Structure 1
Amino acid sequence: MSHIYLILIYFHLLLFQGIDINHYKKVISTSDNDSLVVNAHIMMMKSFGPNKMDSVRLYFNKAFDYSKKKNFLIGETILNHNMANLLSVHGDLSEALVYANAAAAGAKKQKDELNLARAYGLLTVIYGRKGDFTKSAANAFSSLNIFEKLKNKSGMINAYIKLSAIHIQIHDFKSALKYCKIADSLNKEVKDKDFELDIVNNLAIAFAEQGKLDDALEMFKRVSNLTKRQKSKISAHASALMNIGLVYKEKKEYKKALDYYQQSYKVSLDNNYPEGIVKNMQNISVAYYFIGDYDKSNQEALKALDKSREMGVIDLEVEILEGLRSNYLKQQDYKNAQKYTEEYYEAAMKLNVKEREREISGIKDKYELEKTQEQVKLLNQINETRTKQRNLSIILLVIAFFSMIVFAYSYYRIRILNRQNVINKDKLFESNQIKDRIFSIIGHDLRSAYVSTLGILSLIKENNISEHEKSSMIDRVIHQSETALETLDKLLHWGYSQIRGAKITLEDFNCATPIKQTLDFLQQLIQEKQVVVDNQINEEICVLADKNHFNFIIRNLISNAVKFTPNGGKITLKSQEEKDSFKFFITDSGVGIAKARLEKIFTADSSSTSGTQNEKGTGLGLIICKEFIESNGGKIEVNSIEGVGTTFSFTLKKGKC
């Protein structure tokens, strides 16, 4: 049931209502108690909530400067935690990670296990919202271990609820139900109503996702009863009613579904809950569609469309437009069907662009943040140097006997700091090169692809071409879009690994499966070019490396081999055991690489070339391969003869499978 609406503690928006702003402003201006002052700033941040981040940042910076000046370390930790929470709710997940990690680091430094456990819990939520459930689960278990050590039952329940939510997301429902039961058992002692709500809701969603609709229905009704007539849980109550309707829809009891959608809509409308209003408008439209009343379905869908556009919820707008298109096709109203089909594709394109802009913005934010940190570090070092020089001068005036020693020491320290300053400047210069490379590719490769695509779509829209030409052009649009997406993915890999530094997770694994998956993925292109692939790699080979890195390396190298091998050519995959590692070889009978390009093929100066069928690239893939291989303790080499072929080889440490 992909449309069940999650209202888990794992994801939901925390509401901060009824905050007395004047009271906290007075505390900030009059109190000399560090804890009270910092807490007042935090309450002011919460009063603005995640929708006014400029004001939130203003109070955060004031409080952080205050804590620095007073050397109030726990204040810094708590501020970082709250800033990360608000950024997460706002959707700035990359920046939220920076503050959450800072909160965890501060708690570790102070040996504050309670706040460390809370920081791990926050990292669980952020990684979960980013879709990285491996890291999310790891942080949840770290949080749980500390809470168990502290015998903090509320913290343990919270961690188990998060673990159940994670396992629902990865469709491991057996584990999800297990963690729900543990949380429920602990909550029988704590008797926290909010925990009970989250547990029951997780159970309901787990049952619904497994198709156990009667069990899910029972649980969602419990959620509805738990949240009924509670002002602070209006969104949860409206969502529970809507989820009951969704379950009835799955059971094909459309009139009952419609009844609960209308109840949820009324609750949302009476309590000014915009998200519930527009979602239920759409659901009511869908219910009328299944009942067979297409006119009412269209009426409700059009109201929902206006509301979604008013709220700027573009993903919901796309869903509604798709429904309208289906409705009018069903009614054989082809004029309106065409109209909403065009609007659907236009909105879908905006949604895709918006998501990509958000990813690129994340890279840019990381770059700007690191550049600022480097500048602050440099200024601190300069101030430290000046302070030490002044102190040394005083000592020289007072103790003449030590003048030469002090002079030598000062000279030595200055030399070290100057060298460090040069290193820092080089890092800043390198970061600027990375930024220029990223925006150069965005400006040229991606723009070129979309300009060409728009040109083809315009020709198709004019409808002055034959069906054969139209089919050929659509194939070209698909190919160009796939190429642009591949370029963007590599661009994001490059930017992330360069700006933030790639973190690796080493594990022992067998290489046969990822290699087979790569060959399966490329099978269509291999068959089209009639390339023979001879896979001689031993199926028992086990390496110690980051599995995601290995998947990227092998996929990129084999993909390149196919790209630069002409029709009827051959690609050979081999492996060789060495003392402490395995060496892999990917050899093709392709066009080869010019000697001038070989010298800089793994650097940012490398330029891309087209494949034998004019396949495009960015030149980033091999650079990322080299960085991934070296970060896993290996090395990569290339040998090539123009017109004969190319062999890429790389090593990885032996594993224990």
Structure 2
Amino acid sequence: MSKFKYFLLLFFISSAAFAQQPLSALRTRLKNENDPQKIATYLEIGKFYEADQPDSAVHYCNQAMRLAEMAGDHHSQGILLIELGHINILHHHDDLARRFTNEALSVFRNLRDEEGVAIAYDQLGLLDGEGKNVAMAVTELDKSLSFYKDSHDSLGVLDTYNGLGKVYEEKGDVEKALTYYLRTLVQYEHRKQKPEAYFILLDRIGHLYLRKGDNRTAVKYLEEGVQNSRIPAQRDTEINMLDEEGKIYQQEGQAAHALATYKEALSEAKKYNRPEQQAEALIDIAGVLKNDNTSQSLTDLKRALQIADSLKQPRLAANIYEAMAGVYQQEKDYKEAMAALEENHRLLDSLLNADTTKDIAAIDSSYALESSREKIGNLQQVSKVEKKELDLTFVILAMVAIALVLIYRYVHKIRRLNKELKAANQVKDTLFSVIGHDLKGPAGSAAQLFALMETEEFTEEELKAIISDLRKQTEASFELLQTLFEWGRAQLQGIKVQPEQLDTKAIIDKNINLLARQAALKNISVIDSVPTGSGIIGDLNHFDFIVRNLLSNAIKFTYEHGSIELGAKRQDTKVVFMVRDTGTGISNQQQQQFLTSNLQVSYGTKGEKGSGLGLNLIKEFVAANHGSIWLESEQGKGTTFYFSFPAA
């Protein structure tokens, strides 16, 4: 195996293998190594951090890149670019991932390194597969497969078959994914010593059969993995498979069998000193016992919590508090249940803040590296021009022209990056603002009402009123969280449109039925005047979100016993949709706000709260689908929203 292939295998085997090399040992090794050796060690450290701390992973890759550039080691630069692309794929920064991988492909082509080209095509194929561009993904993976077959590289062929399986699994084509996974599995089965990838593959195949509803076959593959991994090096994989088996037995109602499997996983985790997996096994055991032995269930969860605290794993601790809340609820100890849920929410909030900070730091580091590499590339290009033996006048003119172009490109790119970073900060600030204000209010009100119910004596009518108020608070919080999630994801990851021909009548009918109860509570009649055959070209999820939110807003701001009408009309190459209500209406000032930005927080006719984020996201979805949106309104008489999509 070539040195290059050795490095690539080092990058792409599972992170469990890296866990065998302690981080402290890697850092100690750096002190006694020369620069070429340090490049490989920095890569290992970056791989160690890639899943949970992308900012640290990018930092160590940057350190290695500087050494590789100083040494003129283009091979290592290509390898590092592949790894940087892989880190950004893991954290869903697809544009950056594609840029790094394309740059790696360019490096390997210039080096005439066919193995590197094949690996880059593999990564581009997986990237397109995650983006649901299956045709492009298959084309790119076929290119790498062709090279591996021509060079009789069986390991490369297996990697590509596995990649094709992942592409079809992402698409949801279970049968095609199984075809490639099983083809890969057959090749591994001929080997005397099974690699880590073999056990991961058995786990994936088990998952796919589980999706098909074939639990028996899923268990067969998981058990096969457990039986063949009876060596210390594969303990992590075996424990994971035992956990999957237990979940299947629990799902099928075989509590005794599930309990025995979870206990076996716990025993293996203790034997081979896997504390995190011990905690997870204890959570699973507590889940089986909670219906029959709540005392033992709580004991197991408290043991798991001690492990999570010692490991400083807040996400694991949050899961344990959630499980404890379920057991306390089973015991009807609602006070302890509420305390456990509050601790769960506190830990999740702290994780959200930490993850957002790490994500933004990783983006900053990646952009900084890309900008630095472009600057270095520009300087190298100028150096090449200077070496040419040309007429002095031509050299001066060429250098001036190139310098002007490079400066323009550099300044333009810096401005764009600053704009993107500013937008990311605005997203962060908006998220924290909404979480801190719009969610804090309903949560605080709910807590006060619970406290009153716990300490005061109320009549049945008063309790009904309090419960009604609690329902409003929780419904408002849930609706805001859903919109906040959609908006935040669109801002951080960009709006991706998957256009297709849509039957709008069916989508609108579905949303009317979905919100029928909400309308009925206010005695609002919903009139569907949308004609059949109002087909459009657009993204299904975007159109569904637009209709649901406009209809929900209309119900929210329409008086009791009012009416809402939905209609559609074809105009040239577009279909214009209408949502008209007889509600409170929108002032001229707010209409201007809607045209320039988005509506501010407002309240419905029965105190329902709206954050304005939903309308802002609607505007972005309409624009992304090549449509337009506008409104007509008069205070006290109602509002009509219009939006258009390209006609089918």
Equivalent position of 1:65 in the other structure: 66
Task: Give the CA deviation at 1:269.
Answer: 0.7
In the TM superposition, 1:320-331 aligns within 5 A as 320-322=323-325, 324-325=327-328, 329=331
The separation in 2 between residues aligned to 1:614 and 1:550, in whole angstroms, is 27
- Tell me if 1:104 matches 2:101: yes
CA distances 1:446-499 after superposition (whole Å, capped 9, x unpaired): 232322222223223324434543443333333223323333443444444445
Structure 1 letter corresponding to 2:269: S
The separation in 2 between residues aligned to 1:422 and 1:53, in whole angstroms, is 24
Task: Give the CA deviation at 1:553.
Answer: 1.7
- Which sits farther off after the overlay, 610-619 or 180-189? 180-189
Q: Verify the 8 A CA contact 1:584 1:649 in the aligned structure 2.
A: yes
Q: Verify the 8 A CA contact 1:591 1:645 in the aligned structure 2.
A: yes
Structure 1 pair 605/507, CA: closer, same or farther in 2 (3 Å)? Answer: closer
Give the secondary-structure state (helix, strand or coil) at the position aligned to 1:599: helix
The separation in 1 between residues aligned to 2:47 and 2:403, in whole angstroms, is 48
- Tell me if 1:223 matches 2:214: no
Equivalent position of 1:41 in the other structure: 42
Which of 593, 617, 622 is equivalent to 1:629? 622
The separation in 2 between residues aligned to 1:58 and 1:349, in whole angstroms, is 31
CA distances 1:45-90 after superposition (whole Å, capped 9, x unpaired): 34677677676444322122334556766644432443465688xx
Structure 2 letter corresponding to 1:270: K
Task: Give the CA deviation at 1:238.
Answer: 2.3
Which of 337, 345, 354 is equivalent to 1:341? 337
Give the secondary-structure state (helix, strand or coil) at the position aligned to 1:600: helix
Equivalent position of 1:281 in the other structure: 282
- Which sits farther off after the overlay, 191-200 or 479-488? 191-200
Which of 197, 201, 204 is equivalent to 2:203? 201
The separation in 2 between residues aligned to 1:415 and 1:85, in whole angstroms, is 30
Give the secondary-structure state (helix, strand or coil) at the position aligned to 2:593: coil
- Tell me if 1:542 matches 2:535: yes
Equivalent position of 1:394 in the other structure: none
- Which sits farther off after the overlay, 62-71 or 230-239? 62-71
Give aligned pairs, total.
607
Give the secondary-structure state (helix, strand or coil) at the position aligned to 1:601: helix
- Tell me if 1:153 matches 2:146: no
The separation in 2 between residues aligned to 1:42 and 1:363, in whole angstroms, is 20
In the TM superposition, 1:27-426 aligns within 5 A as 29-31=34-36, 38-46=39-47, 56-68=57-69, 75-83=76-84, 85=86, 93-94=91-92, 97=94, 100-110=97-107, 113-120=117-124, 123=127, 135=132, 141=138, 144-150=141-147, 151=149, 152-163=156-167, 166=170, 174=175, 177-185=178-186, 187=188, 193-194=194-195, 195-208=197-210, 212-228=214-230, 230-249=231-250, 254-285=255-286, 296-297=296-297, 299-311=299-311, 312=313, 313-318=316-321, 320-322=323-325, 324-325=327-328, 329=331, 337-338=333-334, 340-350=336-346, 353-354=349-350, 356-357=352-353, 361=357
Task: Give the CA deviation at 1:148.
Answer: 3.4
Equivalent position of 2:592 in the other structure: 599
Structure 1 pair 373/573, CA: closer, same or farther in 2 (3 Å)? Answer: farther
Structure 1 pair 437/220, CA: closer, same or farther in 2 (3 Å)? Answer: closer
Structure 1 pair 528/434, CA: closer, same or farther in 2 (3 Å)? Answer: same
Which of 456, 474, 494 is equivalent to 1:481? 474
CA distances 1:365-392 after superposition (whole Å, capped 9, x unpaired): 5886799699x69x969x99xx99xx9x
Which of 507, 520, 539 is equivalent to 1:514? 507
Equivalent position of 1:620 in the other structure: 613
CA distances 1:241-274 after superposition (whole Å, capped 9, x unpaired): 4444455555655555444433322221111112
The separation in 1 between residues aligned to 2:180 and 2:169, in whole angstroms, is 9
- Which sits farther off after the overlay, 524-533 or 152-161? 152-161
- Which sits farther off after the overlay, 451-460 or 315-324? 315-324
Give the secondary-structure state (helix, strand or coil) at the position aligned to 2:632: strand
- Which sits farther off after the overlay, 349-358 or 519-528? 349-358
RMSD: 4.6
Structure 1 letter corresponding to 2:123: A
Q: Verify the 8 A CA contact 1:305 1:321 in the aligned structure 2.
A: no
Question: What runs of 5+ residues in structure 1 fail to find an aligned partner?
Answer: 1-8, 128-133, 392-397
Structure 1 letter corresponding to 2:270: L
Q: Verify the 8 A CA contact 2:141 2:164 in the aligned structure 1.
A: yes
Q: Verify the 8 A CA contact 1:434 1:498 in the aligned structure 2.
A: yes
What is the TM-score with the length of structure 1 in the denominator?
A: 0.76
CA distances 1:182-235 after superposition (whole Å, capped 9, x unpaired): 43355567888344433433343444555645434433321112101x222111
Equivalent position of 2:573 in the other structure: 580
Q: Verify the 8 A CA contact 1:85 1:122 in the aligned structure 2.
A: no
The separation in 1 between residues aligned to 2:48 and 2:625, in whole angstroms, is 46
Task: Give the CA deviation at 1:317.
Answer: 0.6
Structure 2 letter corresponding to 1:276: Q
Q: Verify the 8 A CA contact 1:154 1:190 in the aligned structure 2.
A: no
Structure 1 pair 192/611, CA: closer, same or farther in 2 (3 Å)? Answer: farther
The separation in 2 between residues aligned to 1:153 and 1:551, in whole angstroms, is 41
Q: Verify the 8 A CA contact 1:582 1:654 in the aligned structure 2.
A: yes
The separation in 2 between residues aligned to 1:116 and 1:350, in whole angstroms, is 42
The separation in 2 between residues aligned to 1:564 and 1:530, in whole angstroms, is 13
Equivalent position of 1:533 in the other structure: 526
Q: Verify the 8 A CA contact 2:568 2:578 in the aligned structure 1.
A: yes
The separation in 1 between residues aligned to 2:401 and 2:236, in whole angstroms, is 69
Q: Verify the 8 A CA contact 1:629 1:652 in the aligned structure 2.
A: yes
Structure 1 pair 428/81, CA: closer, same or farther in 2 (3 Å)? Answer: closer
The separation in 1 between residues aligned to 2:507 and 2:495, in whole angstroms, is 21
Give the secondary-structure state (helix, strand or coil) at the position aligned to 1:607: coil
Equivalent position of 1:17 in the other structure: 20
Task: Give the CA deviation at 1:175.
Answer: 5.2
Task: Give the CA deviation at 1:406.
Answer: 11
Structure 1 pair 547/286, CA: closer, same or farther in 2 (3 Å)? Answer: closer
Structure 1 pair 414/147, CA: closer, same or farther in 2 (3 Å)? Answer: closer
In the TM superposition, 1:558-577 aligns within 5 A as 558-577=551-570
The separation in 2 between residues aligned to 1:213 and 1:410, in whole angstroms, is 65
The separation in 1 between residues aligned to 2:557 and 2:81, in whole angstroms, is 50
The separation in 2 between residues aligned to 1:273 and 1:359, in whole angstroms, is 25
Question: What runs of 5+ residues in structure 2 fail to find an aligned partner?
Answer: 1-11, 110-115, 150-155, 387-391
Structure 1 pair 147/299, CA: closer, same or farther in 2 (3 Å)? Answer: same
Give the secondary-structure state (helix, strand or coil) at the position aligned to 1:602: helix
Give the secondary-structure state (helix, strand or coil) at the position aligned to 1:193: coil
Structure 1 pair 24/587, CA: closer, same or farther in 2 (3 Å)? Answer: same
Structure 1 letter corresponding to 2:184: A
